[in-house]
Amino acid sequence: MWEDLKFWKKPSLSAFDQSLTREHLIQAGRLVVIDDEKPLLIEELKKEGFSVDHDVTGQDLHHIDNQIYDVAIVDYHGVGQRLGPMQGLDILRHIRRVSPRTRVLAYTSRSLTAAESDFFRLSHAVLPKDLGLEDSLKLIEEELKKAFGKEHLFEAMLAKLNVVKAEDKEQIKKALLKSLATGNTNQFKETLSKIAGQAAGKVVETIISKLHLVVTL
């Protein structure tokens, strides 16, 4: 009995991160580049087969609010004026608030002032505009992979539902682990409704589907 306990490891969500192939990522991933210019990178991403939208103003927040993007590549200057004076930083903050599952890349080669430096700090990664194409694609693919990571999606779901109590988090995690192991999402959704309210399932529908992506692919 003691021997069993000694080697027993608490199950983790990352254990379910079966390695998604590049093809899976390309097939399932959804990217947006928010930049007032048209960087060569967009052409390259499309050539590689990625589904990528180009938003030149950052005004159309419909898709962002609907949490459809896995990765958002956000320029600082010339975009996002509708949201506030901090341009790209205001977009970045908006995305992190409404779509916490979206990995946000700070896309600029400009040195920013102290007041603007949150743009780098709050991003998931910095993608310098003058990075080579191959390195840029590699970094974006890495972030896309992270966007499908179970731990990341779980944390994003909690943030979206504003679940803060440790015991609630633990209960949801247990239900999620079970649902990932069995492929049955119903019990998980019930647990979620009990803790976060009836509408919880709807609010994080996209995240739930992403969490179970490998099962359905």
Provide, rounded to whole angstroms, the least separation between the CB of residue 57 and another protein.
19
Provide, rounded to whole angstroms, the least separation between the CB of residue 90 and another protein.
19
Q: How far apart are CA 95 and CA 55, in angstroms?
A: 14
Provide, rounded to whole angstroms, the least separation between the CB of residue 125 and another protein.
5
Q: How far apart are CA 108 and CA 131, in angstroms?
A: 10
Nearer Cβ to another protein (120/178): 120
Nearer Cβ to another protein (21/109): 109
Provide, rounded to whole angstroms, the least separation between the CB of residue 146 and another protein.
9
- The footprint of another protein (CB under 8 A) covers 40-41, 44, 77, 108-112, 114, 117, 120-121, 123-135, 139, 142
Nearer Cβ to another protein (4/134): 134
Please list, in sequence order, all residues whose beta carbon lies within 8 angstroms of the beta carbon of residue 158, skipping any fewer than 6 positions away.
Answer: 164, 169, 172
> What CA–CA distances, in Å, run from 165 to 158, 177, 210?
10, 18, 24
Nearer Cβ to another protein (124/194): 124
Alpha carbon distance, N-terminus to C-terminus of the chain: 39
Q: Residue 68, by phi and psi: left (phi above 0), alpha (psi -120 to 50) or beta? A: alpha
